[in-house]
Amino acid sequence: MKTQVAIVGGGPAGLLLSQLLHLSGIDNVVIERRSRDYVLSRIRAGVLESGTVRVLTEAGVGDRVAREGQPHEGVELSWHDERLRIDLEGLTGETVVVYGQTEVTRDLYDAAEARDAIVLHEAAVKRIEGIEGEEPVVVYEKDGAEHRLEARFVAGCDGYHGPARQMIPDGTRREFERAYPFGWLGLLSRTPPAAPELIYATHERGFALCSMRSDTVSRYYIQVPIGEEATDWTADRFWEELKRRIPVDVARSLITDGEVLEMSVAPLRSFVCEPMRHGSLFLAGDAAHIVPPTGAKGLNLAVSDVHYLHQALDLHFNHHTSAGIDGYSAKALSRVWKAERFSWTMTTMLHDFPQYEPFEKRMQKAEFDYLTRSETARRGLAENYIGLPL
């Protein structure tokens, strides 16, 4: 089989790139290891930057997020029972939109089906040959047989554990990583949200986050030591621990007697691979970088990578200039590193680090107090949270 762009990975990055390339008349094939249902079963991000919503709208998949997405004009931080609202709209003129990644992915799959896109499911990419030339070949396994897909370019949208990044030679690839000594235990419940806006709660027992998917479905996280499994926790134990970490007035009104839809643990890490292009191979999304979810950046960064990569490939195929593809890695990494900084800052400020001395704990409290007293500090947090310009 032959195409112009082979896309490894059918998560949000791969599907969005496929959709944008299609609109630019660029043939592409998506190769996804899992089934459509499996991909849609993964519960992940919940907050979209306004720039992300604009890209989804440009891609023709913005209707449902416009109807069902919930604009949020602010978020809260809390320190024990002290609550601090960050007025996103007042400080930046922008809002964020609460709309689950699962729904974004569903919208992209629906659009792919509507245009008879070629999305090969349960097809696992084994390797990518010839990326230093102009005729790379993606080798994948499906139905027990090995297949080859020839392309002009390959987009590695295969997430942190995918093979694409490894195709960049060791001597060329530089990886930067910080693994955190904790993870997030998440719970999705058919219960009304704890509060109208998200609450990022800091407590000496550990971090907690109150988020939501709609007026009837809520998403909560609590920081757990590295190595904890979701099976180590019952829903009752989760609720009790969450109530001990969030402000007492929020805990008092928390509704917990709804159906628990999902519980899972996500490890936290900061990770960046440089460069994000090698020859005919480009990386986008989690294949190139991971952020701790404390800044709500993971999915949004995948979208900005894809936005830049689509522009670059459109310039190549439709305007016959390599300016876009030659500049893609530097342009994407510039935004990636600023999002890494913000996510790292939020994570180090809000979590309980076992190795922290009393001095570092005082620094965390001073960060919170500075935000409480300085509109300039709050504006800095707000402009990063709503997303730096694309």
Give the catalytic positions in this structure. 72, 200, 293, 297, 385
39 binds ligand PHB (CB under 6 A): no
246 binds ligand PHB (CB under 6 A): no
C-alpha 138 chain-centroid distance: 25
136 binds ligand PHB (CB under 6 A): no
Neighbours of 321 (CB within 10 A): 11
Span from 29-37, 42-50, 350-358, 360-368 in contact with ligand PHB (CB under 6 A): 42-50
Binding site for ligand FAS (CB under 6 A): 8-14, 31-34, 39, 44-45, 101, 124-125, 157-159, 162-163, 266, 285-287, 293, 296-299, 302
Question: CA 353, CA 180: separation in Å to the nearest integer?
Answer: 9
Indicate the length of the chain as a whole number.
390
Question: CA 348, CA 169: separation in Å to the nearest integer?
Answer: 33
119 binds ligand PHB (CB under 6 A): no
Report what 294 binds from ligand FAS, ligand PHB, none; CB cut-off 5-8 Å by kind.
ligand PHB
Strands (E), 297-360: none
CB closer to ligand FAS out of 213 and 297: 297
Q: Any residues with CB less than 8 A from the CB of 199 and at least 6 apart, and which?
A: 75, 76, 77, 78, 83, 209, 210, 246, 247, 250
219 binds ligand PHB (CB under 6 A): yes
CB closer to ligand FAS out of 51 and 285: 285
- Burial status of residue 63 (CB atoms within 10 A of its CB: 0-12, 13-18, 19 or more): exposed
Span from 160-168, 274-282, 293-301, 329-337 in contact with ligand PHB (CB under 6 A): 293-301
Q: SS3 string of 26-83?
A: CCEEEECCCCHHHHHHCCCCCEEEHHHHHHHHHCCCCHHHHHHCEEECCEEEEECCEE
103, 126, 149, 151, 154 from 281: Cα distances, Å: 28, 15, 14, 10, 5
- Of 344-383, binders to ligand PHB (CB under 6 A) are none
Q: SS3 string of 247-286?
A: CHHHHHCCCCCCCEEEEEEEEEEEEEEECCEECCEEECHH
To the nearest whole angstrom, how small is the minimum distance from the Cβ of residue 263 to ligand FAS? 12
Tell me which amino acid residue 354 is: P
Neighbours of 237 (CB within 10 A): 11
Report what 51 binds from ligand PHB, ligand FAS, none; CB cut-off 5-8 Å by kind.
none
Q: Which of 8, 13, 15, 47 binds ligand PHB (CB under 6 A)?
A: 47
CB closer to ligand PHB out of 91 and 268: 268
Please tell me the chain's helix, strand, coil percentages from 3-state DSSP, rounded to the nearest 5.
Answer: 40, 30, 30
Give Dmax (Cα) for the chain: 63
To the nearest whole angstrom, how small is the minimum distance from the Cβ of residue 140 to ligand FAS? 6
13, 87, 308, 322, 325 from 315: Cα distances, Å: 19, 39, 11, 7, 8
Phi, psi of 377 (to 5 degrees): -65, -40
263 binds ligand PHB (CB under 6 A): no
294 binds ligand PHB (CB under 6 A): yes
CB closer to ligand FAS out of 46 and 324: 46
To the nearest whole angstrom, how small is the minimum distance from the Cβ of residue 213 to ligand PHB? 7
CB closer to ligand PHB out of 198 and 312: 198
Report what 124 binds from ligand FAS, ligand PHB, none; CB cut-off 5-8 Å by kind.
ligand FAS
Contact between 306 and 7 (Cβ < 8 Å): no
211 binds ligand PHB (CB under 6 A): yes
CB closer to ligand PHB out of 77 and 333: 77
Span from 39-47, 104-112, 122-130, 175-183 in contact with ligand PHB (CB under 6 A): 39-47
Contact between 7 and 30 (Cβ < 8 Å): yes
To the nearest whole angstrom, how small is the minimum distance from the Cβ of residue 336 to ligand PHB? 17
Contact between 302 and 13 (Cβ < 8 Å): yes
46 binds ligand PHB (CB under 6 A): yes
96 binds ligand PHB (CB under 6 A): no
| Contacts to ligand PHB by CB under 6 A | 45-47, 198, 211, 219, 293-294, 296
